[in-house]
A and B are shown apart, each in its own frame.
Chain A
Amino acid sequence: EVQLVESGGGLVQPGRSLRLSCTASGFTFDDHAMHWVRQRPGKGLEWVSGITWKSDNIGYADSVKGRFTISRDNAKNLLYLQMNSLRHEDTALYYCVRDRNYGVFYDMDVWGQGTTVTVSS
């Protein structure tokens, strides 16, 4: 079964850091680009970041550029999101998402169930 399982969410104070992880299973991880997409409470989807299969191209939303870093470990089937200088507006459910393609970003065909990040003092 194709599966993405996020972990690492939690309550964190503004200005602090958090690292999210996503464990992929049931498919060849390095055949796909990967993304993080978030959804603030009661709001729509917001693309956060994406990474190609061999990490040679990475993109970030303007709202997180310079604060968040995406990375992957193809040997361990893991995707990461290092989040620094967290703000209240980063509070959201963070989804790990698989791209149908391995390079240029296309469509997101497999979604995890998400991990919740709450930024609050």
Chain B
Amino acid sequence: SSELTQDPAVSVALGQAVRITCQGDSLRNYYASWYQQKPGQAPILIIYGNNNRPSGIPDRFSGSNSGNTASLTITGARTEDEADYYCGSRDRSDYRVVFGGGTKLTVL
């Protein structure tokens, strides 16, 4: 079955930049989206269409997609960015979706 692979955990020093990656064959054909989930909260969309931010999402969040790898970059990480991050994309058809396993980001 199709899948998206993420590193389980990543850490970053306060104020530094960090990249979270997502790999999978579906990314060659479909856009990537990224979701942030804090403990006890529902996820929120932070990147759609590979590199677009919904209104209200800070511009320190950016996205890219090349080949089979999508990336989420946080420039100038803040303590409030500590969260789980999930990538998502369509999966083998226009009417199926797959999520990555999630990356837990720790801001040191």
Contact = CB atoms under 8 A, between A and B. Distances in A.
Contacts of A59: 93, 95-97
B35 interface: yes
Contacts of A46: 99
B97 A44 contact: no
Contacts of A50: 95-97
A111 interface: yes
Q: How large is the interface on B (under 10, 10 to 19, 20 to 34, 35 or more residues)?
A: 20 to 34
Contact of B42 (A44, A52, A95, A104): A95
A57 B45 contact: no
B64 to A, nearest CB: 16
Contacts, number: 70
A106 B97 CA distance: 9
A44 B102 contact: yes
Q: How large is the interface on A (under 10, 10 to 19, 20 to 34, 35 or more residues)?
A: 20 to 34
Interface string B14-35: 0000000000000000010101
Contacts of B100: 44
Q: Residue among A59, A106, A107, A114 with the most chain B CB within 10 A? A: A107
Contacts of B86: 44-45
Contact of B95 (A45, A100, A105, A111): A105
Nearest to B6: A44
Interface string B52-89: 00100000000000000000000000000000101010
Contact of A111 (B43, B99, B101): B43
Given A47-B97, A50-B96, 13 more contacts: A44-B84, A44-B101, A45-B35, A45-B86, A47-B98, A59-B93, A59-B96, A106-B31, A106-B33, A106-B48, A108-B43, A108-B45, A109-B54
Interface of B: 1, 31, 33, 35, 37, 42-45, 48-49, 54, 84, 86, 88, 90, 93-102
6 contacts: A45-B102, A59-B97, A107-B31, A109-B54, A112-B42, A114-B42
Interface of A: 35, 37, 44-47, 50, 52, 57-59, 61-62, 95, 100, 103-109, 111-114
